[in-house]
Structure 1
Amino acid sequence: MTDKPLDVLAIGNAIVDVIADADDAFLVAQGLDKGAMRLVDEVEAVALYGKMGPGRESSGGSAGNTVAGLAALGLSAGFIGQVADDELGKIFAHDLRATGVEFGTPTRNDVGASARCLILVTPDAQRTMNTFLGAAQRLPASAISAAHVATARILYLEGYLWDPEEPRAAMEAAIDAARAAGTKVAFSLSDAFCISRHRDGFNRLIDDGRIDILFANEDEILSLTGAADFDSAVAAVAPKVLVLAVTRGAAGAVAVSGQERAEVAAEPIAKLVDTTGAGDLFAAGFLAGQARGKSLEVSLRLGAIAAAEVIQHYGARPEADLRALAGELL
């Protein structure tokens, strides 16, 4: 593999998470769909925050969590995402840089407030996310440097950021730069909500051969394809990408590349606390394996290890030593 200073460069929503415990009755009272993600405006975000219990603040965002996981695994990672010149923006930038991730996107004072995600965790560890995108949805194409993209082995994009028009143009510019530079493009479908809004656009990216590594969970791959069962959905998508990686929760994960198929079981855990970030950290482990030229099975195992760590505590970024947990796999 070519020698590039960054293993992974990610583009995503720059968000600070506010996590609080809640019961099912609270979700029903607020009209929330358990386990789903929805977008809210600033007024609704403020109103919901006022009704939540005590919160724990931690920097998040799907791709931000992934690069934090990559850094914890000892890989070199960078992040591009928009924050405002406000307190939450400063918190996000500090937290990400403190993990060792390169983050140099200039702050802006003309984009409203920095993004936040209000996450309600029920006793069964399911998370219901209410996201105010704020400044995150104002990432301009001018924030993308073709030379910067060319420094990475893999460009990683989160589907959540595909929704607003401005960052979508930035991501498309980054994909163009990656294709020209020989940088692999990895893309996460992120959520069934994103697929319902952008199924045609996502399928066009895949059909046009602009995605090398595609991440999905079981529900997302079924939603994307409209297939009747999991195996049919995988068979429909796998030939169109270099690598397809699909998580199945407690049932483990599957990856397909050409004629090769690998499966791993979920890693055993002591206690399930909060599923926030499970997919993000799975992507971190899997990308770590791919960036280091590891097999599909080893990449899956790294993903499973990283995901298992993050679901045993609150917050979507690792707390334990992921490099120690990965051991000889990396």
Structure 2
Amino acid sequence: MTDTDFDVLAIGDAVVDVIAPADEALLAEVGVPKGSMRTIDWEEAQQLYARMGPAQETSGGSAANSMAGIAALGGRAAFIGQIGSDQLGTIFAHDIRAQGVAFDTPALTEDITTGRCLILVTPDAQRTMNTYRGASEHLSVDGVDADQIARATIVYLEAYLWDHAPPRAAMKHAADLAHKAGRPVAFTLSDIACIDRHRPDFRALLESGRVDILFGNEEEARALAGRTDLDEAVAELGEHVDLCVITRGEHGALAAQGGATITVSAVRPRAIVDTTGAGDLFAAGFLASHARGRPLETSLMLGARTAAEVIADYGARPLGKLSHLVDD
């Protein structure tokens, strides 16, 4: 499409990732399972931060990471997410704008802190994520710019925001605005824990017709569909959305549309340093390509290449431009 200003606009958590190396003894001491993703309150966030070693701070959030990836690939990305009027809010806004993503959501003036994700990375490159959502929980319908939604080729929504009523209403409103403007809506399932909490809601969301493109990994697809067989799960979900995009880790990824399924193999990374953001950057590659009307196989391959690239570095976002990954 040529009548838009953005390839993709995302709505999601506006959080700052605080990433530090950790040994498994620390995880045992604080009672956190390795590789888990969980939500914590303010008190626990303070206690865990005090136990962490020297950390790297960068703006994060799943959908925000995907938008940074699209910008690094040479695409046009925008993001809507709620920050507070604090130091981490300033870091988030600076980082995402510096990476070339349009970000215009005003900071809250109330005494509400910006969200943060405390990420412990063990020597085997596994990341354990502990998220305090803070201001993200307060994103409201008023924070959704109808004109900006209409100027995006694809609108991308993040399931992590579903826990709280204001951002849930904001995402439904954005989906309705997108469809009114003739734009497709993509929804990422984000994490198996989100499905455990909201499976009936997510099923209702798909059945309402608000979602055109569904992203998830194979575990999430099975859980949402209530099927143990992946092919059956994808077929079930495909009855309610136009396109299913499913990642399968070392087994690659697939896209299912109109009864046909296309698969690609995983791309071997040049190194495995930190798996944080692999799924987010896969979505970035796929969406950047799909928004430009490229074939599904091409979009899947760009997703796989982009995911492999972020795995090879520390952190959930690309450290430089990724335009060399895009096929001419």
TM-score, reference length from structure 2: 0.97
Q: Is the 1:12–1:160 contact (alpha carbons within 8 Å) kept by the matching residues of 2? A: yes
Aligned length: 328
Matches within 5 A, 1:39-118: 39-110=39-110, 112-118=112-118
Unaligned stretches of 5+ in structure 1?
Answer: none
Name the counterpart of 1:218. 218
**Letter in structure 2 aligned against 1:21:** P
Matches within 5 A, 1:105-144: 105-110=105-110, 112-144=112-144
Q: Is the 1:71–1:77 contact (alpha carbons within 8 Å) kept by the matching residues of 2? A: yes
In structure 2, distance between residues paired with 1:279 and 1:111: 33
In structure 2, distance between residues paired with 1:77 and 1:124: 32
Give CA deviations for 1:107-147 in whole Å, capped at 9, x if unaligned: 11215110100001112211110001011111111011222
Name the counterpart of 1:13. 13
**Letter in structure 1 aligned against 2:301:** R
In structure 1, distance between residues paired with 2:142 and 2:180: 18
SS at match of 1:294: coil
In structure 2, distance between residues paired with 1:141 and 1:119: 30
- Which is further off, 78-87 or 107-116? 107-116
Name the counterpart of 1:295. 295
In structure 2, distance between residues paired with 1:228 and 1:25: 35
Q: CA deviation at 1:28?
A: 2.0
Q: Flag as ranges the 4+ runs of structure 1 deviating above 4 A.
A: none
Identity percentage of aligned residues: 55
Q: CA deviation at 1:325?
A: 2.0
Unaligned stretches of 5+ in structure 2?
Answer: none
In structure 1, distance between residues paired with 2:22 and 2:223: 28
**Letter in structure 2 aligned against 1:151:** R
**Letter in structure 2 aligned against 1:129:** M
Name the counterpart of 1:237. 237
Q: Is the 1:161–1:168 contact (alpha carbons within 8 Å) kept by the matching residues of 2? A: yes
Name the counterpart of 2:246. 246
Give CA deviations for 1:83-117 in whole Å, capped at 9, x if unaligned: 01111000100001111111100111215110100
1:284 aligns with 2:284: yes
Q: CA deviation at 1:2?
A: 5.2
Q: Is the 2:235–2:259 contact (alpha carbons within 8 Å) kept by the matching residues of 1? A: no
Give CA deviations for 1:55-75 in whole Å, capped at 9, x if unaligned: 111111111101111111111
In structure 1, distance between residues paired with 2:36 and 2:141: 29
Q: Is the 1:111–1:134 contact (alpha carbons within 8 Å) kept by the matching residues of 2? A: no
Q: Is the 1:70–1:77 contact (alpha carbons within 8 Å) kept by the matching residues of 2? A: yes
Name the counterpart of 1:27. 27
Q: CA deviation at 1:320?
A: 4.1
**Letter in structure 2 aligned against 1:204:** A
1:322 aligns with 2:306: no
Q: Is the 1:83–1:136 contact (alpha carbons within 8 Å) kept by the matching residues of 2? A: yes
Q: Is the 1:226–1:233 contact (alpha carbons within 8 Å) kept by the matching residues of 2? A: yes
In structure 1, distance between residues paired with 2:96 and 2:79: 9
Name the counterpart of 1:311. 311
In structure 1, distance between residues paired with 2:33 and 2:225: 23
Q: Is the 1:111–1:135 contact (alpha carbons within 8 Å) kept by the matching residues of 2? A: no
In structure 2, distance between residues paired with 1:142 and 1:264: 40
Give CA deviations for 1:22-78 in whole Å, capped at 9, x if unaligned: 222321221112212111111110100111122111111111101111111111111
SS at match of 2:83: coil
Q: CA deviation at 1:171?
A: 0.7
Q: CA deviation at 1:3?
A: 1.4
Q: CA deviation at 1:276?
A: 0.6
Q: Is the 2:72–2:320 contact (alpha carbons within 8 Å) kept by the matching residues of 1? A: no
**Letter in structure 1 aligned against 2:282:** F
Q: 1:61 to 1:153 in 2, by over 3 A?
A: same
Q: CA deviation at 1:21?
A: 1.3
In structure 2, distance between residues paired with 1:53 and 1:10: 32
Q: Is the 1:239–1:258 contact (alpha carbons within 8 Å) kept by the matching residues of 2? A: no
In structure 2, distance between residues paired with 1:126 and 1:236: 32
Q: Is the 2:73–2:325 contact (alpha carbons within 8 Å) kept by the matching residues of 1? A: no
In structure 2, distance between residues paired with 1:88 and 1:69: 21
**Letter in structure 2 aligned against 1:113:** T
SS at match of 1:133: strand
Give CA deviations for 1:204-255 in whole Å, capped at 9, x if unaligned: 1112221111100111111112211222211211232111100011111011
In structure 2, distance between residues paired with 1:263 and 1:104: 37
In structure 2, distance between residues paired with 1:273 and 1:99: 22
Q: Is the 1:159–1:188 contact (alpha carbons within 8 Å) kept by the matching residues of 2? A: yes
- Output the aligned Cα RMSD: 1.2
Q: Is the 1:17–1:116 contact (alpha carbons within 8 Å) kept by the matching residues of 2? A: yes
